[in-house]
Each structure stands twice: as structure tokens, then as C-alpha cells.
Amino acid sequence: MKRSWKPNQVFFPDLSHYEWPADLNALADSGCVGLIYKATQDTGYQDPTYGEARAACYAAGMLWGAYHFGEAGSVQGQVENFLSYALPTSDDLICLDLEDYGNSTMTLAQAKEWITSVEENLSRPNQCVIYAGNWIKERLGDSTSDPFWGQHRLWLCQYGTSPSWPSAWKMPWAWQFSDGSVGPEPHQAAGCGPCDMNAYPYDEAQLSAEWSGSEGAPVPPPDQNLIVTVEISAPAGVTVNVQQQQSS
């Protein structure tokens, strides 16, 4: 299948509390496949709108993704913050956001440790998406000596019309071409207003199939109104007690 970057064909935006509340039914109706949302940052910050946005995304029939904004603090503390709050399912996309952040900028070694630890905890090797622009370009350049980076999908951030990326990747998985102000049009998504906009070079079916990184089509979230019928057989005189439990 031929790759073709089409910034005007947006299959997913990425949001945080800055763009919430949003109309995710309108977003889904516009043709978006999924949504990537900020979950955590450093060792303590947790986006207070994460749970509400996740429920709305599932209800709208879209795929869900969660990202962590990395800092230079304790890596394991950041891993625990993300996993305990984001609670990603095996069908959800997981992502590490790597950006220049002054004295708190995460290092290359810390990023690798965070990704490795999260993937090991979730038993999801090489499924973490790396979101980065200048951060990754300045640190990797044309080096391909460590295959670790190329084994992960690169979500490239570059606000322009001609994206470039380190040689560790043949192509980015996706390209964030606008922050809702700078970069090519469009600058806004249906139901969300101006926000980070992303191009994906294949079609909706391919994006859905590879969303989680497991190479298989994700299983849709369960219907909240699902009715289950259970038949129980027991000898006469035996009392059977049934207890309903909320599934995770």
C-alpha cells in the first residue's frame, strides 16, 4: 500500500484538558478513527479530564490512546504514575511524549528506560509510540547504532510542509503537522476546535488494525448495556448464590 501524506485527511487528533470538553460524537462522525489523550506528566501530574474523555471516546466508537509527558525526574516514579492512572488496555495506544522542557528535559537514556519498563509491565514489547520532533533529531541524528529506536513507531512533530526525521526510521508512523495555529491547514477537528492535528499515510482500516501496535485489529470496548444470560443446574435442595461483579 502506497504511503501518501495528506494533512487534510485527519484520522486522529491529540488532546488534553486544554481542549476539553469536546464533542467526540462529532469527531467520530467526521471520519476520525481514534483519539490520543494526555494522561500524565512527570511523577505526579494526572490530567483530571482523562477518565471522562476516555469514556466519551469509547462511547463514540473510537479507538483510545494515552500519552505521558516525560521529564527528567524519577523514571520509575513516572512509569508508576502513568500505569496507575492511564490504565491502558491491550487495545489502547500507549505513547511517550518527548519534548525540550528546559532543565527538566528527559534524557535519551531515561526515555529508553521508561519505554522498556512500561512495555515490560504491560507485556507489550515494541508497542510504545514515540512522539518527538527536534528532541529526537538532535539526540539521534543519523545514528542507527541502537536498533531500539527504529523498532518503535515514531510520531513525528514538525510544523511544516516537508517533514524530516532521523535515519533510525524509514518513515514516521504519523506526522503532527499543526498545533492548531502553526503549520498547514486544517487547524481544527470537528467538535474539538483548534488542536494538534496529525496526518497518517494509509487508510482508516490500516490505522485501526495497527493502532495498539499488536498488528491485529483491536477488540471494541464492551457494550455498557450488555445483557448476559447464565444457566445454572444444581441438584434438588442445593442453594446456589450468584454474585454480580463489575468487570474491569
Task: Give the three-class secondary structure for 147.
Answer: helix
CA distance 33 to 247: 25
Confidence at residue 80, expressed as pLDDT on a 0 to 100 scale: 98
Three cell numbers, residue 201: 499515510
Torsion of CA 33, 214, 109, 42, to 10 degrees: 50
CA distance 83 to 122: 9
Residue (of 170, 200, 161) closest to 3 by Cα position: 200
**pLDDT tier at 142 (50, 70, 90 boundaries)?**
confident
In the CATH hierarchy, which top-level class contains the domain 10-210? alpha beta
CA distance 189 to 179: 11
CA distance 179 to 176: 8
Q: Higher model confidence: residue 110 or residue 247?
A: 110
pTM above 0.75, yes or no: yes
Confidence at residue 242, expressed as pLDDT on a 0 to 100 scale: 57
Task: Give the three-class secondary structure for 150.
Answer: helix
Q: Is the pLDDT of residue 184 over 60?
A: yes
Torsion of CA 124, 126, 130, 136, to 10 degrees: 150
Q: Higher model confidence: residue 205 or residue 232?
A: 205
Helix axes 75-86, 108-122, angle to 10 degrees: 40
Average pLDDT for 26-30: 96
Average pLDDT for 131-155: 93
Helix (H) or strand (E) holding 160: none
Confidence at residue 144, expressed as pLDDT on a 0 to 100 scale: 82
Average pLDDT for 210-223: 60
Q: Is the pLDDT of residue 107 over 90?
A: yes
Q: Is the pLDDT of residue 182 over 50?
A: yes
Q: 215: Cβ–Cβ under 8 A, 6 or more apart, which residues?
A: 209
35-72 pLDDT per residue, tens: 999 999 999 999 999 999 999 999 999 999 999 999 99
Long-range contacts of 119-128 (CB under 8 A, 24+ apart): 121/79, 121/83, 122/83, 122/88, 122/90, 122/94, 124/90, 124/94, 124/212, 124/213, 124/214, 126/151, 126/152, 126/213, 127/94, 127/212, 127/213, 127/214, 128/94, 128/95, 128/96, 128/152, 128/213
Confidence at residue 237, expressed as pLDDT on a 0 to 100 scale: 67
Mean pLDDT across the chain, nearest whole number?
89
CA distance 141 to 132: 13
Confidence at residue 174, expressed as pLDDT on a 0 to 100 scale: 96
Pick from 14-28, 175-189, 223-237: least confident: 223-237
Average pLDDT for 103-130: 98
**pLDDT tier at 105 (50, 70, 90 boundaries)?**
very high
Q: Is the pLDDT of residue 218 over 70?
A: no
Q: Higher model confidence: residue 140 or residue 1?
A: 140
Maximal CA-CA distance, the chain: 76
